[in-house]
Structure 1
Amino acid sequence: MDLEPLSRRRFIRQLTTVTALGALGTSLFGCDDKPGTQAGAPAVISQRSDQVVPFRYPDNPTFDLVYVADSLGYFEGTRARPQYVGKVAAPQIIPLVGTGELDLGTRMVPLVISAIASGLDLKVVAAGGKTLQEAPHMKYFVRDDSGIRTPKDLEGKTVGFNSFGACAEFVTKKYLRQQGVDVDRIKWVVVPDVQAEQTLATGNIDLAIIHPPTSGSAEHNPALRKLWSDFDLDEGLGGMAPYSAHGRFLRDHPEAARDVVQALAKAANWVNGHPDDARKITAERLGMKLELVERFAYVDDLVITEPPIQYYIDILEHEGKLKPGAVQVKDVYTNAFNPFVRGTV
């Protein structure tokens, strides 16, 4: 079940799943909340403005720079505030950003490329997460007694991952093909990260691809064995998890957009410099045991570079999901709202 390039009509159809939930729920932090600043956090942005622009954002049970920036007070004194709209299923985030139901969202690069190819109005505005050997974007687990040790062992097996059309599908298939594996002999099924460890342990899938922070629990499960991380597959080239914004928000509120990106970049740098404190925020937010929470790593200053985007354009074209030349790298991103980029201050 591979995704074709997502059409505008199909993206809009996906919205019904979320809108049927009503008002999209309530926020974790209200717009008037003033959470305390964490120890070691850089100074709060000091600029003032009479107009504060809310940006609509999911309030999902995950680790996210928007929540971190909010908890550190980085939106205080700026022209932007998160307006949390409740939980939004991960596959719905980019469709909702692309149609303007959300102003900002974070999901992997291939989903953004497909959205742009379908005519939706959004841009990557901040680089987001990155893969390090010690902090990968995703990990690959098998049961310890499975006998699966090499890529070829996966032929005839079932692989569970969080969604089609994103990193887990494309990074994995690219790597397996390079290793001579017939990926058509593998059964690919969608299993949410929060269910993947149990689904694997009970034998309903043979390999689980799990993202942090959920992968930490699987790492500590003695019945499971880590096979690889995405760093082992492509040294992190496919691991950039960026933030994308709707075009109307960028055009109508450029100063607020700049403040959002600056707050996120400051939060990203804080996380990189205080990984253990960031893990504590994750544990508290998600109700996880601290020892099971894995660290996150982010691109310095969230400055976007082109190779991770070109990587996915090439994959999508090779997979037949994108017509050659339909989307160029510069169609996908802009650093214009990042004050850490030279020339934009």
Structure 2
Amino acid sequence: MRTVFKLFSTLAVALGLSGQALAQETLEVTDIRYQGSAGQVVWIELAESLGYLAPLKAKWVGNTISGPQDVQAVVTGDIDIGGAFNGALVKLLAKKAPVKAVLGYYGVDDNTWTGYYVKSDSPIKSARDMIGKKVAVNTLGAHHEFMVHEYLERNKVSDAEAKQVTLVVIPPVSGEQALRQNQVEVTTLGGILRDKALERGGIRPLFTDQELFGHFTAGSLVVRNKFLEQNPKASKHLVSALARSIEWARKTPPAEVRATFEKIIKTRGRAESADAIQYWKSTGVPSIGGVIQDKELQVWIDWLVKDELLKPGQVKAADLYTNAFNPYAGGAKVAAQ
């Protein structure tokens, strides 16, 4: 009996090991290269921490400085997945960049949004008052710039007048200081930077992206077309893991999410502070599992056509993304409007 028991034990271990090996073999790749964000947790890091990503492994290659840079790194093959503002993606994809959007990864809701602020005693009270003034944004051609143009256009500021509004690229962490020291008249603030600035007082909002568009998915993660074609199983597993992570964060009490984020930051050993995490409030992603919808890209296609940066019919929203790898795509509904 003892011999039989040992035999079964050995067989069980062997089957277990072969099962693990099989799990590894069923996916075409083992590592997924990505860029992170200092003091923040990106979805692939959460997916790995929750155990959703295995047997894939997240391979950090550094931190990104902006969405356009992150996506450019995907295009050049330096990383496997990256994300940016949907308006910037439309411009990139319209130029036939060999990537496709696979998941919405950030957005705007009641708890997560970006505001455009002026000093409390500023004479700027309307869009027309911005003519001839300087506005701080994190980078050109992305979320912050699009919102400024949208605000000006909705308030009947002509194209010629809008060109007199100067966009100044300033790192987000320096945006508040630039405003208070009169280097700019309007600055863009979101998340912890906004909340800390408001705690210090002396500033007021001119407008917010939530006021302009309500709840919306603002940016998408992209993967190279070649990667999707050559690694369909790994692609499906990756997107599924990320989508599940978004859903976990959407449904889990914020305090628990923050605690998980803090643990990830402290254990990854990048000599960074986790202080910003205490200000995390929500994912900002209104769609279940980050499922992408036509309208989230169409709004920027229309905007670029109107601005004569694209020709009518040049780009179709459905051609820019795929939900084929997202397990929540079947009948998924927007959770908040």
Q: What TM-score results when the alignment is normalised by the length of structure 1?
A: 0.78
CA distance in 1, matches of 2:203, 2:71: 32
Report 1:190-209 matches (<5 A): 190-209=169-188
In the alignment, which of 189, 199, 204 is matched to residue 210 of structure 1?
A: 189
Deviations 1:223-266 (A, max 9, x none): 322333211112234x4221111111111111111111111111
In the alignment, which of 84, 108, 112 is matched to residue 131 of structure 1?
A: 108
Deviations 1:121-141 (A, max 9, x none): 0000012222113322x2212
CA distance in 2, matches of 1:314, 1:100: 30
SS at structure 1 position matched to 2:123: coil
From the superposition, tell whether residues 338 and 97 of structure 1 become closer, same or farther in structure 2 (CA, over 3 Å): same
1:252 aligns with 2:230: yes
> Is the 1:154–1:186 contact (alpha carbons within 8 Å) kept by the matching residues of 2?
yes
In the alignment, which of 84, 90, 112 is matched to residue 113 of structure 1?
A: 90
1:49 aligns with 2:24: yes
SS at structure 2 position matched to 1:240: strand
1:149 aligns with 2:125: yes
CA distance in 2, matches of 1:335, 1:225: 40
Deviations 1:267-307 (A, max 9, x none): 11111122233334556634325554443322311111110
Quote the RMSD (CA, aligned, Å): 2.3
> Is the 1:157–1:186 contact (alpha carbons within 8 Å) kept by the matching residues of 2?
yes
> Is the 2:103–2:326 contact (alpha carbons within 8 Å) kept by the matching residues of 1?
yes
1:232 aligns with 2:211: yes
SS at structure 1 position matched to 2:200: coil
Letter in 2 for 1:341: A
CA distance in 2, matches of 1:203, 1:279: 34
> Is the 1:283–1:289 contact (alpha carbons within 8 Å) kept by the matching residues of 2?
no
Deviations 1:72-120 (A, max 9, x none): 22212x4x22211112321311112123222100111122222222221
Q: CA deviation at 1:338?
A: 0.7
1:187 aligns with 166
> Is the 1:214–1:293 contact (alpha carbons within 8 Å) kept by the matching residues of 2?
no
1:323 aligns with 311
1:279 aligns with 2:279: no
1:264 aligns with 2:242: yes
From the superposition, tell whether residues 270 and 343 of structure 1 become closer, same or farther in structure 2 (CA, over 3 Å): closer
1:311 aligns with 2:299: yes
CA distance in 2, matches of 1:342, 1:291: 34
CA distance in 2, matches of 1:212, 1:318: 31
1:96 aligns with 73
> Is the 2:36–2:42 contact (alpha carbons within 8 Å) kept by the matching residues of 1?
no
Letter in 1 for 2:275: M
From the superposition, tell whether residues 333 and 229 of structure 1 become closer, same or farther in structure 2 (CA, over 3 Å): same
2:134 aligns with 158
CA distance in 1, matches of 2:139, 2:175: 12
1:58 aligns with 2:59: no
Q: Which has more radius of gyration?
A: 2
SS at structure 1 position matched to 2:163: helix
From the superposition, tell whether residues 224 and 278 of structure 1 become closer, same or farther in structure 2 (CA, over 3 Å): farther
> Is the 1:303–1:338 contact (alpha carbons within 8 Å) kept by the matching residues of 2?
yes
From the superposition, tell whether residues 288 and 333 of structure 1 become closer, same or farther in structure 2 (CA, over 3 Å): same
CA distance in 1, matches of 2:175, 2:262: 19
| Aligned structure 1 segments of 4 or more residues deviating by more than 6 angstroms | none
SS at structure 1 position matched to 2:108: coil
1:81 aligns with 57
> Is the 2:139–2:170 contact (alpha carbons within 8 Å) kept by the matching residues of 1?
yes
From the superposition, tell whether residues 93 and 172 of structure 1 become closer, same or farther in structure 2 (CA, over 3 Å): same
Q: CA deviation at 1:343?
A: 9.0
Deviations 1:17-57 (A, max 9, x none): xxxxxxxxxxxxxxxxxxxxxxxxxxxxxx93335521210
Q: CA deviation at 1:212?
A: 2.9
Q: Provide structure 2 residue ranges, at least 5 long, that are not aligned to the other structure.
A: 1-21, 266-272, 333-337
From the superposition, tell whether residues 261 and 73 of structure 1 become closer, same or farther in structure 2 (CA, over 3 Å): same
From the superposition, tell whether residues 342 and 190 of structure 1 become closer, same or farther in structure 2 (CA, over 3 Å): same
With 106-115 and 291-300 compared, the bigger mean Cα shift is at 291-300
2:199 aligns with 220
Q: What TM-score results when the alignment is normalised by the length of structure 2?
A: 0.80
CA distance in 2, matches of 1:108, 1:148: 27
Q: CA deviation at 1:196?
A: 1.1
1:335 aligns with 323
CA distance in 1, matches of 2:120, 2:82: 36
Letter in 2 for 1:328: K
CA distance in 2, matches of 1:246, 1:117: 15
CA distance in 2, matches of 1:290, 1:260: 25
